[in-house]
A = this chain, B = another copy of it.
């Protein structure tokens, strides 16, 4: 299904073929959930986008205008996902950034029908063979250089597998392909560092803000000893992990409490089963 699209705040479905987003992945994106027009995590998305523009050194978009643009495109949808892409725009041939870049802003909005079973019963995850490279200069950013995630996600097509866990070169767990990861050990909540690889997710930031969390390095063997494991996503919310590498878990109290928090801020998990679930 084609999303509702705007480019540089005007309804449009295409970008110049000279855009550096297409040429080099030279840009950033945010993916957010909008429920009844509300975007409770917007400030976190905007903050990450601004921080990313600063690290990649191009002028940030006006985030107030950006929020209004998402609101314009989402009109009439009760549950929706928006992807906001900001690139360095077009320039002369070559890697050198243009001295006065004019960023391109793409907003794409689609209706969202989340899988109720994922939030209720949890998801089964696999461990991907694709490892994340260590690149501190880009770690944490939600930039457009996502071939590692594409390769990892291409490792499976079984619809019973809900996500894939990614390890770095040293074997430490970083995240899932499109979600962050948390685990509980003896009542203590932990999440992997994302300072060498991975994305500092907005949902992860929300959890860090409302819970005591230790940010750790953790390998797969350690993860499989956890009392509870769940994933966090700005779009999909809190997803209990029910199976990984032969280990199984029940959805635990930490995930359930965070699902309640998510509902309280206006991002409820779906509770029924719909034909569109899969």
Interchain CB contact (< 8 A) of A94 among B3, B29, B148, B153: B153
Cα A219 to Cα B269 in complex, Å, equals: 53
Query: By CB atoms of chain B within 10 A, which of A17, A21, A97, A130 has the most?
Result: A17
CB of A63 closer than 8 Å to a CB of B: no
Cα A87 to Cα B15 in complex, Å, equals: 14
Interface pair B5/A97, CB less than 8 Å apart? no
- Residues of A113-152 whose CB lies within 8 A of B: 130-131, 133-135, 137-138, 143-152
CB of A203 closer than 8 Å to a CB of B: no
Q: How many residues of A contact B (CB 8 A)?
A: 61
CB of A188 closer than 8 Å to a CB of B: no
Cα A143 to Cα B154 in complex, Å, equals: 17
Cα A197 to Cα B57 in complex, Å, equals: 24
Interchain CB contact (< 8 A) of A22 among B15, B157, B178: B15
Q: Which of A6-14, A65-73, A204-212, A260-268 is near enough to bind chain B? A: A6-14
Interface pair A17/B23, CB less than 8 Å apart? no
Query: By CB atoms of chain B within 10 A, which of A83, A145, A169 has the most?
Result: A145
Interchain CB contact (< 8 A) of A106 among B22, B26, B56, B94: B22
CB of A19 closer than 8 Å to a CB of B: yes
Residues of B close to A150: CB separation below 8 A: 20, 24, 26, 56, 88, 95, 97
CB of A180 closer than 8 Å to a CB of B: no
Chain B nearest CB, measured from A162 CB (Å)? 12
CB of A238 closer than 8 Å to a CB of B: no
Closest to A31 in B: B93
- Residues of A1-58 whose CB lies within 8 A of B: 1-3, 5, 7, 12-26, 29, 56-57
Cα A135 to Cα B131 in complex, Å, equals: 8
Interface pair B85/A110, CB less than 8 Å apart? no
Residues of B close to A108: CB separation below 8 A: 17-18
Interface pair A29/B18, CB less than 8 Å apart? no
Interface pair A22/B21, CB less than 8 Å apart? yes
Interface pair B18/A5, CB less than 8 Å apart? yes
Chain B nearest CB, measured from A175 CB (Å)? 12
Closest to A153 in B: B95
Residues of B close to A244: CB separation below 8 A: none
Given known A-B contacts A23-B29, A106-B17, A178 and B95 have beta carbons under 8 A apart: yes
A-B CB contact pairs (8 Å), 29 listed: A3-B93, A7-B17, A13-B17, A13-B18, A14-B14, A14-B15, A14-B17, A15-B15, A17-B108, A19-B22, A21-B22, A22-B144, A24-B145, A24-B147, A25-B25, A25-B144, A25-B145, A26-B150, A57-B154, A94-B178, A95-B150, A95-B152, A95-B178, A96-B153, A99-B157, A131-B135, A131-B137, A137-B148, A145-B145
